[in-house]
Amino acid sequence: MQPIYTIRQLTKEFAVTARTLRFYEDKGLVSPARRGQTRIYSARDRSRLILVLRGRRVGLSLAEIGEILDLYYMRDGGRAQLLLAREKFQERIAVLERQKIEIEKALAELRNGIDTMHRALVERHAAE
């Protein structure tokens, strides 16, 4: 009845390695059933995986993603999850804004360095 996925199917669908899926399981982010040794992923595992990958794409840590996922099945029907996720998202936005500034600084320093090196190379050439 339930849609069922193998580890291979999920790696292809989401372009991740099997190692990644096992790692997420080890961290408690997904908990597939077993058929013997082999992992069997349910639709629920798959939707959790989607949330994990979405969180990772925006740069949340697996620990933060875990916190959000843990709230999903609580009694308030997801309100706490929404509030926590929003907070994490806002924090992330602030971090990324700062990173953008750092990148701009680094780019300026790099371009400056290239100019300086260029001049040094020209001087050497002239001194020949």
Considering only residues 105 to 124 of the shown chain, the ones binding a copy of itself according to CB under 8 A are 106-107, 109-111, 113-114, 117-118, 120-121, 124
Residue with Cβ nearer a copy of itself (22 or 56): 56
Determine the 3-state secondary structure of 76 from DSSP: coil
Interface residue with a copy of itself among 36, 75, 97, 126 (CB under 8 A) is 97
Partner whose binding site includes residue 7, from DNA, a copy of itself, none (CB under 5 to 8 Å by kind): DNA
- Asked whether position 18 contacts DNA by CB under 7 A, the answer is yes
Could you tell me the CA-to-CA distances from 33 to 16, 45, 46, 89, 112 in Å, in that order?
19, 9, 12, 31, 56
- Asked whether position 12 contacts a copy of itself by CB under 8 A, the answer is no
Burial string for 30-51 (b: 16+ CB within 10 Å, else e) reads bebeeeeeebebbeebbebbeb
Q: Among the candidate windows 4-12, 22-30, 35-43, 96-104, which touches a copy of itself by CB under 8 A?
A: 96-104
Burial string for 65-77 (b: 16+ CB within 10 Å, else e) reads bbebbebeeeeee
- Give me the least distance between CB of 61 and DNA, in Å please: 3
Contacts with DNA, residue ranges (CB under 7 A): 6-8, 17-20, 22-24, 36-39, 56, 61-63
